[in-house]
Structure 1
């Protein structure tokens, strides 16, 4: 139930746009989790490719963080509410934490690649809900977010290739 003080006018059907908001909030939770995991690996990467991986992961983390505000504001523009806490993020995310003391660089890249592909799945689900609701703005934005996550997965895959 939303608070009337937070109601935002929209011409989109409430019941359909609520499923869009649910999908966007799930993707947003994944973005925050993926951002922190990417920064963790950025801070703790080591080895002969340190500089390249360190810089790539920092760039990717910045790109992920940049999209969070856009996603959250899209949820609000459709008359819904968005994430409110770390607990809310942890309940909604599909991306698992990695609290290990040491992770090999190749394992970092593979894990982040798979996590970006999970994010792609969540974004596609949100885009499908948006299309069903006639929410072309969300659908169009999701295309860009999907492309960015696919590019991150591609870079991580290529960086981890041997020979």
Structure 2
């Protein structure tokens, strides 16, 4: 990694930990919706939410390892995730399935924006490895937005 100063590296670590927090928060929300969805579209949404939750979780370790490879610390607790995440909690277990899909669509769009911040920070810090892998994470999130948008049509 090119040395471009502590500030750009700190910004990258902050962006990565933000993306980590958002992935963890979105995983929990998506899994909760998977558990609590009900109604005529139960089967399709139950399976879609589970599939998306698995994909979100598959990125968590990769993000944390990018932080560690930059010789920094990751988030360490539920409290740290809550302070850092931009994804809002949803505690209702009776939310309408349409509202679940809308929330997940919007939250995944927030995640895309957060990942674009990671990309910019990685490039600013000269971290080509992070800059390269974040493209795949962004593509995953954009695909989830697309799927959820299509469900709402």
Normalising by the smaller structure, the TM-score range is over 0.9
Report 1:14-53 matches (<5 A).
15=6, 16-53=8-45
Matched ranges for 1:76-155 at <5 A: 76-155=68-147
Please give the secondary structure, in 1, of the residue aligned with 2:75.
Answer: coil
1:47 is paired with a residue whose SS is coil
Q: Is the 8 A contact 2:2 2:126 kept in 1?
A: no
Q: Aligned-pair RMSD on alpha carbons?
A: 1.1
Report the Cα distance in structure 2 between the residues aligned to 1:101 and 1:143, rounded to whole angstroms: 34
User: Structure 1: which 4+ aligned runs deviate by more than 2 Å?
Assistant: 10-14
Shift of 1:58: 0.3
Give the length in aligned residue pairs: 152
* Cα distance in structure 1, aligned partners of 2:100 and 2:4: 42
Secondary structure of 1:94's match?
A: coil
Unaligned runs of at least 5 residues, structure 1: 1-9
Displacement after TM superposition at 1:101 (Å): 3.3
CA contact (8 A) 1:12 1:78 kept: no
What is the deviation of 1:39?
0.3
State the shift of 1:136 in Å.
Answer: 0.9
Asked whether the 8 Å contact 2:2–2:127 carries over to 1, the reply is: no
- Corresponding residue for 1:156? 148
Listed as ranges, the gaps of 5+ residues in structure 2 are none
- Cα pair 2:19 2:115 within 8 Å, conserved: yes
Higher radius of gyration, 1 or 2 = 1
The CA distance in 1 between the partners of 2:122 and 2:65, in whole Å, is 15
Counterparts of 1:53-92 in structure 2 under 5 Å? 53-92=45-84
